[in-house]
């Protein structure tokens, strides 16, 4: 079966620095895959390659069997992949409804002015209300984005990505800046929204290992620009070497590498 998203032997050089070396990752339909690793492991570079922001120095990236190397996020969104960012990408002066409407208008290919579309287009309004309902933002539609809590801002950022009707969504640190007590509630909402919106696969980049363990079907770990593991959660967390490498802790002298 052809993977939905695949990196084949990708490497990325920045001058003499090799950020990724011969990395291969495949994501099938109906998978939830997490990408983890210590700071400097190459996660951001891999994400930027998978979402068409960067062109690999060698190797190729495919989405639905077609090369997407360097196509950029706008073209990729039209093909069915959306990405959220670690830093919330919203316009604080817009309302929640206007923020979601901007993505809806873009997805529908309409060239009308945003505010005209929101006030005068029933299909746009209906889609905005539908998405807001999925993310629990129905009661915030008239609120300015800047007035939302950090967790709500994260939801709004992801809601805008979902408005593009993606088949694959890449969540880049969706819980960063969110309180510990809110993290699981936020992830539960995101996963439920993905199912409700018909998203086929989710790729999560996340530092919180509790969230990774709770939601992943597979975990891809990077270290020093290489894949050191691509495993289900059970075998992944049973390997002390992999866990120690990912969380940046040294192993005791008796610990051994049990993984590949």
Query: And the tokens for 28?
Result: 């099938």
pLDDT in the model for residue 228:
96
pLDDT tens sequence across 72-113: 777 888 888 888 765 455 677 889 998 888 888 777 665 445
Mean pLDDT of 212-231: 96
Is 117 within a domain? no
pLDDT in the model for residue 72:
79
pLDDT tens sequence across 5-48: 999 999 999 999 999 999 999 999 999 999 999 988 999 899 99
pLDDT in the model for residue 203:
94
Is 76 within a domain? yes
Q: How far is CA 69 from CA 59, 60, 149, 171, 212, in A?
A: 9, 6, 36, 19, 27
Q: Which helix (H) or strand (E) holds 193?
A: helix 180-196
Is 125 within a domain? no
User: Domains in the chain: how many in total?
Assistant: 1
pLDDT in the model for residue 233:
95
Is 127 within a domain? no
Average pLDDT of the chain?
84
Mean pLDDT of 159-180: 85
pTM: 0.83
CA distance 240 to 257: 7
Is 41 within a domain? yes
Mean pLDDT of 63-69: 91
Closest listed residue to residue 27, CA positions, set 12, 45, 47, 44? 47
Asked if 142 contacts 135 with a C-beta cutoff of 8 angstroms, the reply is: no
Instruction: Check pLDDT > 50 for residue 177.
Output: yes
Dihedral pair phi/psi, residue 46, rounded to 5°: -65, -45
Write out the residue range of the structural domain in which residue 55 sits.
Answer: 5-87+167-176+199-247
**CATH assignment of the domain containing 222:** 3.40.50.300
Is 253 within a domain? no
Is 109 within a domain? no
Is 116 within a domain? no
């Amino acid at each position: 079966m052809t993977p939905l998203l695949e990196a084949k032997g990708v490497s990325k050089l920045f001058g003499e620095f090799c950020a990724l070396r011969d990395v291969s990752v495949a994501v099938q339909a109906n998978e939830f895959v997490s990408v983890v690793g210590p700071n400097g492991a190459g996660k951001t570079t891999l994400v930027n390659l998978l979402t068409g922001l960067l062109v690999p120095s060698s190797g190729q990236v495919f989405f639905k069997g077609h090369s997407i190397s360097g196509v950029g996020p706008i073209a990729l969104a039209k093909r069915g992949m959306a990405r959220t960012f670690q830093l919330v990408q919203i316009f604080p002066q817009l309302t929640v409804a206007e923020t979601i409407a901007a993505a809806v208008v873009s997805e529908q290919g309409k060239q009308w002015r945003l505010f005209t579309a929101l006030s005068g287009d029933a299909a746009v309004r209906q889609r905005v209300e539908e998405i807001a309902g999925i993310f629990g933002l129905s009661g915030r539609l008239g609120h300015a984005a800047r007035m939302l809590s950090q967790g709500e801002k994260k939801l709004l950022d992801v809601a805008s990505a979902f408005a593009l009707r993606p088949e694959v969504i890449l969540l880049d640190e969706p819980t960063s800046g969110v309180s510990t007590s809110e993290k699981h509630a936020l992830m539960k909402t995101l996963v439920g929204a993905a199912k409700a919106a018909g998203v086929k696969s989710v790729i999560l980049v996340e530092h919180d290992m509790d969230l990774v363990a709770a939601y992943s079907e597979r975990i891809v770990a990077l270290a020093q620009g290489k894949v050191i593991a691509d495993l289900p959660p059970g075998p992944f967390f049973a390997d002390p070497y992999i866990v120690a490498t990912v969380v940046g802790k040294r192993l005791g002298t008796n610990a051994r590498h049990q993984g590949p």
